[in-house]
Amino acid sequence: MLDDTINEHTEEKIKDYLSEEKVKESQSTVSDNFGVKKNEKKHSGKKVFFIILILGIIASCLLFYFTRNYGKESFDKAQVKVRIDVVDEIMSGEELALNLYYENNTSVDLKNVKINLHVPKNFLYISSERTNKVEESVLSWEIKNIVAGKTGNIKLFGRVLGNKDSVITFKSQISYTPENFNYEFISSDSSSDVNVAITKVPFNLSIQSPEILTVGDRFEYIVDYENITDYAFKFLNVESDFPEIFVCDSENAHLVNKNNGNLFVFNIKDFEASATGKLLIKCVVTKSIENQDDITIVSVLEASEDGSKFFEYAKEETSMIIKEIPIEIQQSVNGSAEYLAVKGEDLEYTIKFKNIGEEEIRGLVIKSELTGKIDFSSINVINGSYDKKSNKITWSAFNVPKLASFSPGDEDEVSFRVNITDYIEIKNSEDKHFLINNEVTISNFNFDSNSVNVEKKIASNNNTTKLNSSLFIRSKGYFNDDGRIKNTGSIPPEVDKETSYSIHWNLSNLFNDVSSVKVVSVLPENVNWTGNFIRSNGKVSIGNNEENGAFTPAEENDIIEGEINDDIIKVEEDGNITQEVIIPKEEEFYYNTKTREVTWKIPLLNANTGVISPVKEVVFQVSVKPNEANIGNVLNITEIVTATGHDNFTNREIETIDIALTSELPDDYSIGIDEGIVVANSDK
């Protein structure tokens, strides 16, 4: 209608214009007479032309607007959809499969289709069935067209990382151009967003630490971690972040210094399926934080496939209350604050406490809880009570009257005795480094206006007693041995006749690794070293009698000074070097012709040698020629044998001995009673 009207008006104007031109000449005189100028006629024609042009532009704009809006109303973009199909729950680290389903439920083909998937930062994209682009947190797929009424899907894979109980969100979007349109539509519906909850993580992470500490307390912070999956992780980091009020150290984690605290990082490689581990960090509370008594320690477990980019899998926060309280506690075992014990030993615990505050404390109760290799049936409490079910010892005002009212400056002590168990079962290589721990807590009971009994912990103290290694040396002698070294002579030994014997040294060790092990015994004056011996690896060496054996080592002093290149380990305590431990690089066994000492050196004797691994043994041969003065007596073959070493767990020197050997040879069952006594020469 609009176009017809415009055309009708235009034709009429043109006719008028042509008619004007046709009669222009004949009417020129008349026009002049009326005073109309020629240039005014020209201006009138131009005005008509511009009016027509403007009307045409307006008509075109109206037509475009109408067509555009009519088209919009006729295309229902709600019928173009994209949705995400994915599981609701997953374990952190597991591979996740997603399906993007797209639908064109309109009657129009769609072209230049692009599908975007917005993924969270902790989603690690792996692959897709279709070629796509990855730009930061957006994955996109370009599809040539979607035919009217058709659907399709895109499958992709990735890995989800995150803490337990966290939720990650995926958002989808589709853009396209309908075939009968010249501009792009974008469909994005928040109702199509999907959430995936992380309900499990591949690791268990747990913390053992005290709840209440006071300034000056020493404590242990233990991080237990476990791989609960059936696959291994190549690289693992366990980290614990401590505030600056603690001074800490660890045997297996390295310290990363920070401005406001200490970060301990423990690196583990090839953490196998179902494997477990433990991180031990020892700390001292150096001070409290003003106006704050609740301190948080954060421990994190991270894993990586390549050792460069680590992702957090588990996180635990531990809260401790640090108090500057008026009760001071000190513990000692057998009179020492850092006692080192041995299996089967009797321990006496003394707990001293003092009111260092300015106020009276009423209703004190002291509790002591023991853990470790303890014979609990042996507990003997002085002026206290023992609960067999909880293994807790308690002292209160009922048996220690001073606990009813404890004034400033007051001090007192309580005590008990207990035995370390004499038998400690060893099942595997992890059964070592045994500790006996005694945790003491002091509480006071207050009564409110309603006489409700309320217990409040006001102090705690922890004492750890380490068990030393149990190093054993056993010296045995044989005439009839296993045949690797042949013994000769007469039994019983005869005057002026030489008889040879095989001496076996058996070495075993329980509980801790021991370094710089040294076994020494002296040969009596009338006993000769034959030069025949068997090393601990089973290699037999046959010496020469005349040269006093082929194995003639350097002097003992030369060996210590470095003729044999030893490793020197510096032992530190509280930052100070307390001693230097010499550890030979290789095992040595030799006889010193001047000192007459037989010496066996071992760089490192593993914990539980003789239990989960064979007893370590060397064998050597000696000979003796009795004289008439020996008739009727047994012969001394070796003197007392002594074994020493450095306990790597307790950082102490240990020693053990075995008795001297005689010709009675109690371990050689082929030798009868009295067959070790020297007799006269049968040839005379």
187, β-bridge pairs:
174
State the Rg of the chain over Cα: 47
| Architecture (CATH level 2) of domain 470-662 | Sandwich (2.60)
**Distance (Å, whole) CA 118 – CA 538:** 68
**Distance (Å, whole) CA 553 – CA 564:** 11
Structure-token pair, residue 133: 């682009």
**Distance (Å, whole) CA 101 – CA 242:** 49
Q: What angle do CA 215, 220, 223 make, to 5 degrees?
A: 130
CATH class as words, domain 77-200 = mainly beta
**What pLDDT is recorded for position 92?**
85
Contact yes or no for 367/443 (Cβ under 8 A)? yes
Which region holds residue 191: left if phi is over 0, alpha if psi is between -120 and 50, else beta?
A: alpha
What are the C-alpha distances in Å from 584 to residues 178, 507, 513, 533, 565?
Answer: 84, 18, 15, 20, 7
**What pLDDT is recorded for position 615?**
94
Instruction: Look at residue 29 and give its three-state secondary structure.
Output: helix
**Distance (Å, whole) CA 619 – CA 532:** 9
For residue 371, give every residue at least 6 positions away whose Cβ sits within 8 Å of its Cβ, in sequence order, or none: 391, 436, 437, 439
**Distance (Å, whole) CA 368 – CA 441:** 7
Dihedral of the alpha carbons of 335, 339, 342, 348, in degrees to the nearest 10 = 30
Given CATH 2.60.40.1530, say whether it is the number of domain 203-323: yes
For residue 632, give every residue at least 6 positions away whose Cβ sits within 8 Å of its Cβ, in sequence order, or none: 677, 678
Q: What share of the chain is helix, strand, coil (3-state, %, to 5)?
A: 10, 50, 35
Mean pLDDT in consecutive groups of 10 residues from the start of the chain, 684 residues: 40 46 42 42 59 72 50 70 91 89 90 92 88 89 90 91 85 90 81 88 90 79 91 89 87 72 86 90 81 81 83 88 80 92 92 86 90 92 90 91 89 93 88 92 64 62 91 94 91 91 95 94 92 89 54 36 41 51 72 91 93 93 91 92 94 93 92 88 78
pTM for the predicted model, two decimal places: 0.50
How is domain 327-467 classified at the CATH fold level?
Immunoglobulin-like (2.60.40)
**Distance (Å, whole) CA 269 – CA 252:** 13
For residue 519, give every residue at least 6 positions away whose Cβ sits within 8 Å of its Cβ, in sequence order, or none: 473, 505, 507, 599, 600, 601, 602, 641, 642, 643
**Distance (Å, whole) CA 633 – CA 512:** 42
